[in-house]
């Protein structure tokens, strides 16, 4: 009996407990109702009377050893020392990915900021537009061939004709209907055209429209405003040139080229060796457009312009395929890390 107690004691003292599962095995083995110590106690009745006291005492000590061992391990584990000791504070931190702004957002914000500095506010209009704001008020009569210039996504044909706007010029009309001159506003937004998707055309893209209406606004004001914009956007060496053009809502109208910032106007494949890149359309607001929107064309004059954000982005970041803007390829998007 004494031998049994001694071997059990040393067995308990040499037990290794490393986790909760080990601890439970230990408890069942020694302290459980069917454990080794319980069965030893039930053997006590077979011990000779004169030895009972001594052996009883030894067994109590054994039980105490088992309980203390159990509690000591339990405390250790619950403090989770073993886990805490495993943390290596000298390890370098783990990398985590931060999103970046979309290039179209970056350039759109930059355009807004440039015009904010010279007093233009921002206005917006709906992407689903009626015929009046997208066409009629802008001087496109019903059968005007200019309506064919823009392949339109119609939502409803007929009397309540609704379409996805084909340009942000529709916002000009809304602003003129609601505000009184002086008006100095830019209207960024998404526009839609029914085009086959390719590297050079997409069925949706982004424009920024500009409108300035006051007394005595002249073509010289328009030209100077656009030169200021080009130099802020592409650098102080940037030059612009205006080519006569036609839009139904401006008279006279022009298209504007900026000197190629990629080759410093020396000629490269982006500017097709001309040194110039087309960036926007513009003109003096046609008096009939002013009148249609409730502004007296005998008192006020104004200029307007419209530019494609994808186009400006292409020139700034040398993106040569329009489809990349909407494909959500992380390898493309994460190159544009500047902070707004």
Residues at the contact surface with ligand DAH, assessed by CB under 6 A: 167, 169, 209, 247, 250, 281-283, 304-306
Least distance to ligand DAH, CB of residue 102, Å: 22
- Determine the Cα–Cα distance for residues 268 and 275; give it in Å rounded to an integer: 7
CB of 166 to ligand DAH, least distance (A): 7
- Rounded to the nearest whole angstrom, what is the least distance from the CB of residue 298 to ligand DAH in the complex? 21
Q: Shortest distance, CB of residue 262 to ligand DAH, whole angstroms?
A: 23
Within a 10 A sphere around the Cβ of 66, how many other Cβ atoms? 24
Nearer to ligand DAH, 209 or 265 (CB): 209
Helix (H) or strand (E) run with residue 207 in it: strand 204-214
Nearer to ligand DAH, 209 or 278 (CB): 209
Closest to ligand DAH by CB, 168 vs 259, is 168
* Nearest residue to ligand DAH, scored by beta-carbon proximity: 306
Helix (H, G, I), strand (E, B) or coil at 211: strand
- Judged by CB, which is closer to ligand DAH: 300, or 305? 305
For the bound state, the minimum distance from the C-beta of residue 264 to ligand DAH, rounded and expressed in Å, comes to 27
Looking at the Cβ atoms of 125 and 306, the one nearer to ligand DAH is 306
| Least gap, CB of 210 to ligand DAH (angstroms) | 7
CA distance 267 to 283: 28
> Quick check: 305 and 250 in contact, CB under 8 A?
no
Q: Could you give the CA distance from residue 205 to residue 203 in angstroms, rounded to a whole number?
A: 7
Q: Kindly state the DSSP code that residue 96 receives in the 8-state scheme.
A: -
Contacts of 33 (CB under 8 A, 6+ apart): none
* H or E element at residue 169: helix 169-178
Nearer CB in complex with ligand DAH: 26/305: 305
Spatial contact of 208 and 116, defined as CB atoms under 8 Å apart = no
- For ligand DAH, the closer CB: 22 or 130: 130
What single DSSP character describes residue 181? Answer: S
CB of 236 to ligand DAH, least distance (A): 25
Q: Could you give the CA distance from residue 65 to residue 210 in angstroms, rounded to a whole number?
A: 88
């Amino acid at each position: 009996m004494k031998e049994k107690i001694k071997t059990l004691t040393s067995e308990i003292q040499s037990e290794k407990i490393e986790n909760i599962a080990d601890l439970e095995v230990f408890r069942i083995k020694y302290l459980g109702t069917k454990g080794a110590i319980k069965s030893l106690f039930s053997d006590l009745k077979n011990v000779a009377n004169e030895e009972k006291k001594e052996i009883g005492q030894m067994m109590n000590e054994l039980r105490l050893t088992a309980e203390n061992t159990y509690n000591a391990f339990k405390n250790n584990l619950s403090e989770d020392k073993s886990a805490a000791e495993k943390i290596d504070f000298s390890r370098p931190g783990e990398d985590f990915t931060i999103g970046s702004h979309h290039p179209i957002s970056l350039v759109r914000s930059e355009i807004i900021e440039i015009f904010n500095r010279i007093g233009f506010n921002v206005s917006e209009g709906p992407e689903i537009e009626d015929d009046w704001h997208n066409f009629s008020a802008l001087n496109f009569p019903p059968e005007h061939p200019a309506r064919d210039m823009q392949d339109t996504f119609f939502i409803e044909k007929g009397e309540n004709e609704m379409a996805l706007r084909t340009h942000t010029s529709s916002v000009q009309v809304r602003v003129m209907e609601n505000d009184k001159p002086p008006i100095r506003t830019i209207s960024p937004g998404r526009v839609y055209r029914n085009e086959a998707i390719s590297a050079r055309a997409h069925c949706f893209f982004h424009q920024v429209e500009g409108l300035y209406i006051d007394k005595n606004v002249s073509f010289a004001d328009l030209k100077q405003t656009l030169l200021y914009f080009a130099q802020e956007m592409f650098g102080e060496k940037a030059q612009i040139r205006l080519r006569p053009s036609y839009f139904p809502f401006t008279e006279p109208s022009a298209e504007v080229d900026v000197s190629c910032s990629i080759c410093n106007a020396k000629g490269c494949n982006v500017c097709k060796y001309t040194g110039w890149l087309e960036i926007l359309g513009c003109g003096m607001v046609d008096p009939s457009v002013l009148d249609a929107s409730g502004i007296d064309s005998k008192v006020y004059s104004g200029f307007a312009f419209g530019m494609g954000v994808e186009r400006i982005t292409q020139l700034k970041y040398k993106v040569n395929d329009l489809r990349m803007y909407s494909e959500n390829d992380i390898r493309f998007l994460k190159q544009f890390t500047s902070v707004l």
